[in-house]
C-alpha cells in the first residue's frame, strides 16, 4: 500500500476509482480488479480504505491494488492526494470519478461550496485537472464520470451554483450536480479528444446504497413526483415505480465504460445499461459546458496549458 518504486510499478494500466470504499465505488473497483487490472482505491479514512482493500482481495486473491486517502469535500485534500499519485505513477489509463453525495441537507465544503456541487462536481474537476498529466501520458486514457438520470429534472443555475440567492432544495441541487457531471464530460471531450483521451458520463441505475441515508418517507414521495414530472406525466398521475438495481448491476456500466473496446476512439457520450443513451439537451449543450468549465476554473484555479491539451 506504500509508494511504488520503479521496480514494483504495475505492468498493466492504472485504474483510479474515487469513492471506492463502499457501494458503487467498491463494486466498480472490484469489477476492474477481477479483470486483472491495477486498481487504486481512492476514498476517505484509513480504516475504510484498508477494509475495502481486504474485501477486494477476499473476492480477487492476488489482485493488484493500491489505496489513496482523499476527501472530495476539501480541495486541499484533493491536491495532496493527487500529488501523491503523481509521485507513485507515471501514467493513468482510466479515472473513474465515482465519489458523490446525494440529497444532503444544506452544508458547505471546506472551501464554502454547497456540498453536492462541491463534492460531485468541483472536487472531481480539480482531481481530474491535477491527474491530467498522468492521463495524457497513457495512450487512449478514459475519464468516467458517474452521473444520473436525475439530471433530467433540471439544469444547473450557473449564476447561483452555491445556493446563496435561493432557498435550498436538495433535490434540485442534486439534479444540478448530475447535470454538471455530464457537462464536465462534454467539456473534457471537447478539450482532450485530440490528445487521445475520451470522457464518458454514466447512469448506474437506481441503486439502494448508503447515499440515500438522508431520504425520509416524505422525501421519497417528493422524489416520485419529480420522477413523474420528468417522465412527462400529468399532475396527479401515478409515477412509475422506482426499481432498484443491485450494487453489482449498478457498477456494470462504469466497468464497461472503463474497459470495453466498443468505445475506442469515441467519447463525450452518456451511458446506461452498458449502452449509449441520450442525455437531456440541457446537459449536453456545448455552450453550457464551456460556461461551467470557466466558472469551475474561477472557483478551483485554471488548467493552464492543459486546457487546450497542450501539456
User: Considering only CA atoms, which of 295, 272, 298 is closest in space to residue 148?
Assistant: 272
Task: Provide the CA 4 distance to its chain's centre, in angstroms.
Answer: 25
| Residue owning grid cell 485537472 | 129
Show the cell assigned to 55. 474485501
Distance (Å, whole) CA 209 – CA 20: 13
User: Considering only CA atoms, which of 279, 274, 300, 266 is closest in space to residue 182?
Assistant: 279
The β-bridge relationship of strands 275-277 and 198-203 is unpaired
Q: DSSP letters along 148-169, please?
A: -GGGGG----TT-TT-SSS---
Residue pair 48/22 in contact (Cβ under 8 Å)? The answer is: yes
Q: DSSP letters along 219-241, please?
A: HHHHHHHHHHHHTTPPTTPPPPP
The β-bridge relationship of strands 269-272 and 275-277 is antiparallel
Catalytic residues, by residue number, are 174
Sorted by sequence, the CB contacts under 8 Å of residue 163 that are 6+ apart come out as: 106, 114, 173
Sorted by sequence, the CB contacts under 8 Å of residue 126 that are 6+ apart come out as: 75, 78, 79, 82, 300, 301
Count Cβ atoms within 10 A of the Cβ of residue 139 and give its class: 0-12 exposed, 13-18 middle, 19 or more buried: exposed
Distance (Å, whole) CA 300 – CA 101: 19
The β-bridge relationship of strands 275-277 and 14-18 is unpaired
Amino acid at each position: 500500500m506504500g509508494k511504488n518504486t520503479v521496480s514494483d510499478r504495475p505492468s498493466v494500466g492504472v485504474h483510479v476509482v474515487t469513492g471506492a470504499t463502499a457501494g458503487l465505488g467498491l463494486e466498480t473497483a472490484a469489477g476492474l480488479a477481477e479483470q486483472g487490472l491495477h486498481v487504486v482505491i481512492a476514498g476517505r479514512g484509513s480504516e475504510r480504505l484498508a477494509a475495502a482493500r481486504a474485501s477486494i482481495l477476499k473476492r480477487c486473491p492476488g489482485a493488484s491494488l493500491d489505496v489513496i486517502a482523499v476527501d472530495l469535500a476539501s480541495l486541499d485534500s484533493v491536491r495532496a492526494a493527487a500529488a501523491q499519485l503523481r509521485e507513485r505513477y507515471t501514467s493513468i489509463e482510466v479515472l473513474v470519478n465515482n465519489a458523490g453525495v446525494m440529497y444532503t441537507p444544506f452544508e458547505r465544503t471546506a472551501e464554502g461550496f454547497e456540498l453536492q456541487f462541491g463534492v460531485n462536481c468541483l472536487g472531481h474537476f480539480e482531481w481530474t485537472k491535477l491527474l491530467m498529466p498522468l492521463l495524457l501520458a497513457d495512450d487512449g486514457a478514459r475519464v468516467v464520470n458517474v452521473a444520473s438520470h436525475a439530471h433530467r429534472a433540471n439544469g444547473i443555475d450557473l449564476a447561483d451554483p452555491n445556493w446563496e440567492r435561493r432557498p435550498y432544495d436538495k433535490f434540485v441541487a442534486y439534479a444540478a450536480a448530475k447535470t454538471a457531471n455530464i457537462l464536465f464530460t462534454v467539456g473534457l471531450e471537447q478539450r482532450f479528444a485530440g490528445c487521445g483521451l475520451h470522457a464518458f458520463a454514466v447512469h448506474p441505475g437506481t441503486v439502494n446504497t448508503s447515499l440515500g441515508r438522508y431520504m425520509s418517507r416524505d422525501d421519497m414521495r417528493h422524489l416520485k413526483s419529480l420522477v413523474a414530472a420528468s417522465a412527462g406525466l400529468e399532475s396527479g398521475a401515478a409515477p412509475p415505480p422506482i426499481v432498484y438495481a443491485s450494487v453489482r448491476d449498478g457498477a456494470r456500466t462504469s466497468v464497461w465504460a472503463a474497459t470495453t473496446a466498443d468505445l475506442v476512439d469515441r467519447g463525450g457520450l452518456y451511458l446506461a445499461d452498458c449502452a449509449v443513451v441520450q442525455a437531456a439537451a440541457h446537459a449536453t449543450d456545448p455552450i453550457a459546458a464551456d460556461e461551467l468549465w470557466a466558472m469551475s476554473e474561477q472557483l478551483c484555479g485554471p488548467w493552464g496549458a492543459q486546457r487546450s491539451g497542450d501539456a
